[in-house]
């Protein structure tokens, strides 16, 4: 008995995988990143005629991070494909990364045939069980007729409310079955109705609290970027002279060059931002989650402040810091109404004059700076500044994780949203290069650069070949200090300089390795020519990998030591 006979369907119109392709096209998918294998072979056969661009990655993790980079740069849902077993488990890190940073990605995984489920068949793994703690939602297909609606539900879940990763696991035999396909024109999930509007009474209370505050700080997070609410944020902040700081993932939502911007806050944020948070009487958190890299010692965090917390995810409100005025909803909906209520109150701007005097004192006394060298040696901070100068501050910049990531956040100066793409919550080494690839595919008109370290780059460097094969024109700059730099810094500061397994030596030869992958390989060692050298690298056609030799034992400062309060910053 066929599946159609079993379920009472008289006429088969197309394979389930061909219906899947129709669903992808209906969702506006223009590119997917993936790698074929036995369990997803029917899906790849459907790609042959589907007319959807597919980019063959060299490792599933690279495909997952590329889908993240695409989603972060465009605001669209990214799509990554993997086969069963190791193909799916190689996607676990990108799935978890997307969950931590609220990135909308649909992960499609192949699964062994239904008769093999539970038998430890070849390349079988419990993908749903493995990924369940790190997804927004997951689906296990049990009948081919489920595929069309499930695909549309997956996209709806990934992009709405608090965005996040959704996994759809499809057994091979079900994917190649024939089904009567009818387009799905509506998605209604009764059990999933995220709150987006925000309560007007709460918004009014927040406006009154802000109008009465003498030492307020606006604390902006990545949720503002995800909500495409940068303009609304700017309107609120400039409606009065309100100080604003940003998390790592929130950079760019408010222009870094604006006089009211205090810089990034947190472990490696500016003293002005952290001291302001420490002494504030009101903190307005917008799309931020009070994670440990921001708060330091929770019992010592912002001891004088009341908290307004605006977030689309009710689970985040009061999770770490109790909110005095919680507002559940989408920042793009809430901020204009908050601004209107605040303006209607006609607040007295002079109430903050002493507060700004104190802030300007911190800015003057503790500017972001570093001790440059008189010779040719390149300080890593200067590498970031030179990159900013060479790109006029207008590139999409991705990063890996470590010292270079913090220096980029401190010194690049992001003026627009979706220009800073990094792994914030999970801190994934190997993220930067494939994320740059995905960002460039999504925004081909933009200059896309990746800043990475000599440790991080080796974790997904194989995707250079993907870029070369597909003409993806990214520029990768390695801040090469020969160390796992952030781990070395912690061993220096907190482990009596007992350097254990952090030195990578002079291998590999990145220039030769770039050329082996089909990219242009360059090496820069002179700070006096660095800006022009970077401009030349960016002007070089195709993917370019640059080995930039920087100071070996430079530390990221300022810094809040683990478990300490913001007022105890060092460096």
pLDDT per residue over 253-302, tens digit each? 999 999 999 999 999 999 999 999 999 999 999 999 999 999 999 999 99
358 and 396 inside one domain: no
| 569: in domain | no
Residue 7 has pLDDT above 70, yes or no: no
505 conformational bin, left if phi > 0, alpha if psi -120 to 50, beta if neither: left
Q: Which helix (H) or strand (E) holds 548?
A: strand 544-549
| 291: in domain | yes
Count of CB atoms situated within 10 Å of the CB of 304: 11
Residue 444 has pLDDT above 70, yes or no: yes
389 and 487 inside one domain: yes
Count of CB atoms situated within 10 Å of the CB of 392: 9
| 370: in domain | no
Contact call for residues 72 and 421 (beta carbons, < 8 A): yes
352 and 418 inside one domain: no
121 and 230 inside one domain: no
15 and 150 inside one domain: yes
Average pLDDT over residues 406-432: 98
448 beta partners: 396
Q: What angle do CA 137, 142, 147 make, to 5 degrees?
A: 70
Q: What's the pLDDT score for residue 301?
A: 95
pLDDT per residue over 216-252, tens digit each? 999 999 999 999 999 999 999 999 999 999 999 999 9
| 250: in domain | yes
Q: What's the pLDDT score for residue 373?
A: 87
417 and 538 inside one domain: yes
pLDDT per residue over 340-381, tens digit each? 999 999 998 899 999 999 999 999 999 999 999 889 999 999
Q: pLDDT-based confidence at 2, cuts 50/70/90?
A: very low
> How large a percentage of the chain has pLDDT more than 90?
94
pLDDT per residue over 84-93, tens digit each? 999 999 999 9
* Lowest-confidence region among 1-10, 179-188, 432-441: 1-10
> Residue 357 burial (CB < 10 Å; 0-12/13-18/19+)?
exposed
138 and 209 inside one domain: no
pLDDT per residue over 125-153, tens digit each? 999 999 999 999 999 999 999 999 999 99
> How large a percentage of the chain has pLDDT more than 70?
98
| 124: in domain | yes
Q: What's the pLDDT score for residue 439?
A: 98
Average pLDDT over residues 19-27: 97
Residue 3 has pLDDT above 90, yes or no: no
418 and 533 inside one domain: yes
pLDDT per residue over 35-52, tens digit each? 999 999 999 999 999 999
Q: What's the pLDDT score for residue 571?
A: 83
Q: What's the pLDDT score for residue 506?
A: 82
544 and 449 inside one domain: yes
* Lowest-confidence region among 11-25, 27-41, 90-104, 119-133: 11-25
Position of tokens 């009211």? Answer: 260
Q: What's the pLDDT score for residue 40?
A: 97
Domain residue limits at 243 = 200-365
239 and 342 inside one domain: yes
| 558: in domain | no
404 and 536 inside one domain: yes
Last residue of a domain, one of 332, 365, 398: 365
Report the first-to-last Cα separation within the chain, whole angstroms: 73
Residue 393: name the closest of 522, 525, 252 by CA. 252
Residue 5 has pLDDT above 80, yes or no: no
Q: What's the pLDDT score for residue 417?
A: 98
pLDDT per residue over 459-487, tens digit each? 999 999 999 999 999 999 999 999 999 99
Q: pLDDT-based confidence at 8, cuts 50/70/90?
A: very low
pLDDT per residue over 389-402, tens digit each? 999 999 999 999 99
| 91: in domain | yes
Residue 531 has pLDDT above 60, yes or no: yes
From residue 240, how far is each of 210, 232, 257, 336, 342 by CA, in Å? 11, 14, 17, 14, 9
Q: Positive or negative, the Cα torsion across 97, 560, 393, 372?
A: negative
| 195: in domain | no
pTM of the model: 0.96
Position of tokens 């370290």? Answer: 453
Q: What's the pLDDT score for residue 1?
A: 41
Average pLDDT over residues 527-555: 97
**CATH number, position 537:** 3.40.50.970
Residue 99: name the closest of 49, 138, 53 by CA. 138
Q: What's the pLDDT score for residue 185?
A: 87
Q: What's the pLDDT score for residue 563?
A: 86
Q: What's the pLDDT score for residue 187?
A: 93
When divided into structural domains, the chain yields a total of 3
Residue 110 has pLDDT above 90, yes or no: yes
Q: pLDDT-based confidence at 6, cuts 50/70/90?
A: very low
347 and 419 inside one domain: no
CA distance 278 to 259: 20
Q: Which residues, 6 or more positions from 369, have their beta carbon under 8 angstroms from its beta carbon? A: none
Q: What are phi and psi of 329, to 5 degrees?
A: 160, 180
């Amino acid at each position: 008995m066929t599946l159609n006979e079993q379920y009472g369907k008289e006429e088969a119109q197309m394979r389930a995988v061909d219906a899947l392709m129709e669903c992808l096209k209906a969702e506006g998918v223009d590119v997917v990143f993936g790698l074929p294998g036995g369990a997803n072979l029917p899906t790849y056969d459907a790609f042959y005629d589907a007319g959807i661009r597919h980019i063959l990655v060299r490792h599933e993790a690279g495909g997952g991070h590329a889908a993240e980079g695409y989603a972060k740069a465009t605001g669209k849902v990214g799509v990554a494909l993997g086969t069963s077993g190791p193909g799916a488990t190689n996607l676990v890190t990108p799935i978890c990364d997307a969950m931590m940073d609220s990135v909308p990605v649909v992960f499609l995984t192949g699964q062994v045939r239904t008769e093999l489920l539970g038998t430890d068949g070849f390349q079988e793994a419990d993908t749903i069980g493995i990924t369940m703690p790190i997804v927004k939602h997951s689906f296990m297909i049990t009948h081919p007729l489920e595929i069309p609606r499930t695909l549309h539900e997956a996209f709806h879940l990934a992009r709405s409310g608090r965005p996040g990763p959704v996994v759809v696991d499809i057994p091979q035999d079900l994917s190649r079955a024939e089904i009567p396909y009818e387009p799905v024109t509506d998605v209604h999930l009764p059990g999933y109705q995220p709150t987006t509007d925000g309560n007007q009474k709460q918004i009014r209370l927040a406006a009154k609290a802000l109008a009465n505050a003498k030492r307020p700080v606006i604390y902006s997070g990545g949720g503002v970027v995800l909500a495409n609410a940068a303009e609304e944020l700017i309107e609120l902040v400039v409606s009065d002279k309100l100080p604003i700081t940003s998390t790592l993932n929130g950079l760019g939502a408010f222009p870094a060059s604006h006089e009211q911007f205090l810089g990034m806050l947190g472990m490696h944020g500016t003293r002005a931002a952290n001291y302001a948070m420490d002494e504030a009487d009101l903190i307005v958190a917008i799309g931020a989650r009070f994670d440990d890299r921001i708060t330091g010692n929770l019992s010592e965090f912002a001891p004088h402040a009341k908290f307004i917390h605006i977030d689309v995810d009710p689970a985040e409100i009061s999770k770490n810091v109790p909110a005095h005025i919680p507002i559940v909803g989408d920042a793009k909906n809430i901020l204009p109404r908050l601004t209107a209520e605040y303006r209607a109150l006609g607040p007295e701007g002079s109430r903050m004059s002493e507060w700004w005097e104190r802030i300007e004192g911190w800015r003057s006394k503790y500017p972001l700076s570093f001790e440059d060298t008189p010779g040719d040696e390149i300080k890593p901070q200067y590498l970031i500044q030179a990159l900013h100068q060479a790109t006029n501050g207008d590139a999409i910049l991705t990063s890996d994780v470590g010292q270079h990531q913090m220096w980029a956040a401190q010194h690049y100066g992001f003026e627009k949203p979706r220009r800073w793409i990094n792994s914030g919550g999970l801190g994934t080494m190997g993220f930067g290069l494939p994320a740059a690839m995905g960002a460039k595919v999504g925004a081909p008109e933009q200059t896309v650069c990746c800043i990475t370290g000599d440790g991080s780059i080796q974790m997904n460097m194989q995707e250079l070949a993907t870029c070369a094969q597909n003409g993806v024109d990214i520029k990768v700059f390695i801040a090469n200090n020969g160390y796992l730099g952030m781990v070395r810094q912690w061993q220096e500061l907190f482990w009596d300089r007992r350097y254990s397994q952090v030195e990578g030596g002079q291998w590999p030869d990145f220039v030769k390795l770039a050329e082996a992958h089909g990219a242009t390989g360059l090496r820069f060692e002179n700070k006096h020519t660095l800006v022009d050298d970077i401009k030349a690298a960016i002007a070089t056609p195709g993917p370019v990998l640059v080995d930039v030799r920087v100071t070996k034992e430079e530390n990221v400062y300022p810094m809040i030591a683990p478990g300490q309060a913001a007022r105890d910053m060092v460096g």
